[in-house]
Amino acid sequence: MTLTGNQVSAIVGAQWRAWINKGPSSGWAMWLVYLVWYGFAATLAWLAATILPGIKEPARLAQTVELALLAGLIYWQFIPLMLASAGMALDLKRLLVYPVESSTLFLIEVALRLSTGMEVAIVLSGVAVGLWNRPDVPWWGPLGFIPYMAFNMFLSAGIRDLLARLMAKRGVRELVVFGLVTVSALPQLLLMMFPPEKWQRQQVFGFLDRIPTLPLPWTVTARTALGDGIWWAAPLVFVWLAAGLWFGYRQFIKGLSWDNQGTPKPAKPEPQIPGRAAGWMEQVYRLPSWLMGDPLGMLVEKELRFLSRAPRFRLVFLMGFSFGLIIWFPLAFREGRQGGMMAENFLVWVSLYATLMLGDVLFWNCFGFDRQAVQAYFVVPVKFSTVLIAKNLAAAFFLLLEVTLVALVCSLFRISVTPGKVVEAFAVSLLVSLMLLAVGNLMSVRYPRPSDPSSSWRNSSGGKTQFLLLVAYPVIGVPVALAYLARYAFGTDLSFYLALGCGYVVAGITYWVSMESAVEYAMREQESTIAALSSSEGPFAG
């Protein structure tokens, strides 16, 4: 083994040991989640392998393969960004101290991009098998998918590194999110302009036919895969590959400095003007202490200050209402659907979406962010239930703020917002959040995991956590679903609010029981909680 190979195997081996040592928390549940998710990708691959040999028209086949490749690129490059998640990456801060060639680190980083697009690789394998089953496709054609996948991995690594650097800068981060929101809105706007109900198969393919065949990565790869225009398409596949490599490597090299690793810079001192009252933000922070006595007031105040200064929280808060509005608006209000259920309940819908978005930073792992403070919670003379209630009150505050912002934006754009709908949105969101807090408190103490508040990217949650969330979300939605069912069955708002009231009673009892249980567990397992929150990962960062 070469020395560089030894380093690579040391990094991969250390990460593997770290996963093994992490213990059973990421055991069977993780594999179950993976099985379901990758099983879905495998089904798509099987469909592609089955359908492609049956397509008769060569032009249709080319368009289908192009669309599959384009969809793969979009999934690989944009879906992680939309989820503010970047998959696995090297923890460069820990590895840069060693004498490792940057090209070696880059290769591992690129290989790790598979973690964000394994589904694409599986589906493309199905497409390749489908093409191999056609007699008119040369055997070497689908091999063109290999450089295409490598191109995607280079591009993905480059985009991740570029965004990681941009997201580390306050102000720029918000602009980037705004840009992502705008880009994500484009397909929705297109859907509004060209509603799918009016699509006709021939028209769609006719439209695609009119698009000039530009030498884009997916078009040249599709041509190569089909053995069509091989003399110009195949070299272009490698040109794109080289361009992807250049972009990815360049961005990676730019990130190879602790200056770009979120190293704290000297803070600018805030101007203090003697005699002048504190600013309005300061007044908001101090409000809990004014309304509630200490220690609860002080704890809530600390949470408000801490969360509003955490880049990760700010990003998710911003995405919560902006993405919600933009993604759901065209679906709810596209032509012919103004009177639809989604349009009628748009505000409630977006508020719920925002509530669920905030789950990762407010409910499920409420000690993950301020893990350094956890030890203090166990030593200060304050009941642990008070700490949890303070965290829950701060979460409720931000949730109400989020719903208020959604309502304000809806009013501004004159989207069907009546006072009744605003009340309904608050009532439903609060009920859901009460249930989320009940489950979240338990999960926060039972499955605590360290999280970096200064990182804009999401840390990947454990398999068991993901599995429990899959189970928890439908259960949490039951009281709200029953309330809407009551309105549908009896046709009155009274029935809706009565059912919702019952939901509040159930949620209140659930919250109380889970609080007791969470406090009891936290006190019993405080040592393991502190240990779990003070640990960091291996050479790979989540």
Partner 1 sequence: MNGEAVSAIEIRDLKKVYGGKAAVDGLTLSVGRGSFFGFLGPNGAGKTTTIRMLMGLAAPSAGEIHILGMDMPGQALDIRARIGLVPDDSLLFDHLTGLEFVEFSGRMYKLEKSVARARAAELIALFELDSSKKKIIGQYSKGMRKRVAMAAALIHRPDLFLLDEPFEGVDAVGARLMKDILNEQVRRGATIFLTSHVLEVVERLCERVAIINEGRLVVDAPMAELRSGQETLEDIFVRVVGGVERNAETLDWL
* Residues making contact with partner 1 (CB under 8 A): 1, 3, 6-7, 9-11, 13-14, 17-19, 21-22, 93-101, 257-259, 263, 265-266, 268, 531, 534-539
Task: Give the distance from CA 180 to its chain's centroid.
Answer: 13
Task: Give the distance from CA 351 to its chain's centroid.
Answer: 17
d(CA 471, CA 463): 13
d(CA 265, CA 444): 31
Beta carbons of 255 and 165 less than 8 angstroms apart:
yes
* Residue linked to tokens 């991969």: 12
Q: How far is the CB of 363 from partner 1 (least distance, A)?
A: 25
Beta carbons of 304 and 165 less than 8 angstroms apart:
no
Q: Is the CB of 411 or the CB of 528 nearer to partner 1? A: 528
Phi first, then psi, for residue 289 (nearest 5°) are -65, -30
Q: Is the CB of 95 or the CB of 499 nearer to partner 1? A: 95
**Residue 58 in 3-state DSSP?**
helix
DSSP string, 313-327: HHHHHHHHHHHHHHH
Q: Is the CB of 147 or the CB of 255 nearer to partner 1? A: 255
Phi first, then psi, for residue 278 (nearest 5°) are -60, 155
Amino acid at 329: F
Q: How far is the CB of 118 from partner 1 (least distance, A)?
A: 23
Q: Is the CB of 47 or the CB of 96 nearer to partner 1? A: 96
d(CA 43, CA 41): 5
Q: How far is the CB of 104 from partner 1 (least distance, A)?
A: 10
Q: How far is the CB of 282 from partner 1 (least distance, A)?
A: 23
Q: Is the CB of 60 or the CB of 169 nearer to partner 1? A: 169
Q: Is the CB of 182 or the CB of 536 nearer to partner 1? A: 536
d(CA 331, CA 338): 10
Q: Is the CB of 119 or the CB of 452 nearer to partner 1? A: 452
Q: Which helix (H) or strand (E) holds 541?
A: strand 540-541
Beta carbons of 129 and 49 less than 8 angstroms apart:
yes
Q: How far is the CB of 3 from partner 1 (least distance, A)?
A: 5
Q: Is the CB of 50 or the CB of 257 nearer to partner 1? A: 257
484-485-490-495 Cα dihedral, nearest 10 degrees: -50
Q: Is the CB of 96 or the CB of 239 nearer to partner 1? A: 96
Alpha helix positions (H), 170-279: 172-193, 201-210, 217-226, 230-254
Query: Partners of 90 in the beta sheet?
Result: 540
Q: How far is the CB of 75 from partner 1 (least distance, A)?
A: 30
Q: How far is the CB of 467 from partner 1 (least distance, A)?
A: 21
d(CA 240, CA 245): 8
Q: How far is the CB of 395 from partner 1 (least distance, A)?
A: 28
Q: How far is the CB of 444 from partner 1 (least distance, A)?
A: 19
